[in-house]
Amino acid sequence: MFTYEKTEAAIPLRLVTETSLVEIKNGIYESGRNWLTVQGYRGKPNTLCLVPDAAGRLAQVFYGVNDSEGVLWALAGLPSLLPTGEYYLEGDWNDEDLSQMLVGWGLGHYRFDQFRTIEEPTKPVLYLSQGAARINAMVEAISLVRNLINMPANHMMPQDLEQVARRLAEVHDAEVDVITGSALLKENFPTIHAVGRASVHAPRLIELNWGNQDDPLVCLVGKGVCFDTGGLDIKPSSNMRLMKKDMGGAAHVLGLAKLIMQLELPICLQVLIPAVDNAISGDAFRPGDVIHTRLGKTVEIDNTDAEGRLILCDALAYAAENDPDVIIDFATLTGAARVAMGTEVPAFFANDRSLMQKLQAASTMSNDLIWNLPLHKPYLEKLRSQVADLSNSGDSYGGAITAALFLNEFVPNRIPWAHFDVMAWNLRARPGRPIGGEAMGLLAVFKYLEMNFVE
């Protein structure tokens, strides 16, 4: 994907627009200018022109950029279009834009091929002159998120998520503690146990800790529903087909943790993953059941398919016990967020206006789109129960907001908290973003951490 020494064989790659091509065209050698004219190349977005030299060898590449996609994805389509060879990027770029483009180039090489026997063709490589550690770390982190989400459920159950966390810990000198099965009841994580107890794959709380305890404490919480049948409120088959991705929140926090540890951010990191298989058996939790939470509040089960907020509420309550500087959770929580924002824009909620503004600023800086929705407190009325403190589901309106409000009941106001409701899946292929598992908001959150916790 990258080369770190530029040879004489390296081919210049120039990004153009329909406007800039006119000026650039006048500044190149005559045969190249004639070639562009003969080809009728105009620099339209996502179009490529391979320009030969006088001897017929590839001498230069022009590629039309799509301004609407942002700089992050400017190079992402090229790895699948260019002939095998060595290339270098021509032109003047500031460090931030160049770094983002090179991350996009790296992600353009991504394929989930663990279960394929077809050999992939050799890909082109791009000369990387600086920032290799950072760029590779970002590509690897996002690739990890994608790989975990793409993994079939029979290869990614709670015990498999635990092993991923343990492997990360070994590489980065972190510590992992896991509470499994009936021990969850003993350690006061009743909702995680209730949701996962019906499966032969025991539920668990996975905790990873890393960093210097004198540094700011950042807690990441990720929903780890490794497969979601919907429980006794079973999903129709069409809605169940992609439910291997319901551990997308866990994948996000593991990928983000890898990036934080690999680039050694000066924070004390805690990662919490409630990992379950929402299965159906004689011991499955039922609509109408009332369950206790770690915080002591009781919840009436209105719908067993609203299970993500149940496992998260215990993890969030536990996260708050150490008074972290910030708690950020990722979850594939509601279809309502997709109706509101579409599948490609992650929604986020924050209980702190300053945190919301900082995340939005980080989104702009990182070219990683996220969008804030309101924690509209009057909607909490929709979660009122006649027999318990809360119901786990409301009516059909404002579902993303009521889910966030449910979680907010388990986070003290004194602790800044953000909740990301993500699709974690690409329904269509775009440059650098094939159909399948996707990291959404990860680069924005990482940029927020850099901007606010790195001097």
Is 244 part of the annotated catalytic residue set?
A: no
Q: Which amino acid is at 24?
A: I
What gap in Å lies between CA 409 and CA 390, rounded to an integer? Answer: 9
What gap in Å lies between CA 325 and CA 267, rounded to an integer? Answer: 10
Kindly provide the b/e burial profile for residues 149-175, where b requires at least 16 CB atoms within 10 angstroms of the residue's own CB.
bbbebeebbbbbbbebbeebbeebebe
Q: List residues bridging with 417 in a β-sheet.
A: 327
Question: In this structure, what token pair is assigned to residue 144?
Answer: 């990890």
Cβ–Cβ < 8 Å for 35, 60: no
What gap in Å lies between CA 197 and CA 215, rounded to an integer? Answer: 37
Spot the catalytic one: 123, 235, 297, 430: 235
157: Cβ contacts below 8 Å, ≥ 6 apart: 201, 226, 227, 277
Spot the catalytic one: 204, 223, 258, 309: 309
- Type and span of the H or E element at 60: strand 58-64
Kindly provide the b/e burial profile for residues 215-246, where b requires at least 16 CB atoms within 10 angstroms of the residue's own CB.
ebbbbbbbbbbbbbbbbbbeeeeeeeebbbbb
DSSP H helices, 222-370, are 237-240, 248-262, 308-320, 335-341, 353-366
Question: In this structure, what token pair is assigned to residue 147?
Answer: 């790989």
Is 111 part of the annotated catalytic residue set?
A: no
Residues belonging to the active site: 235, 309
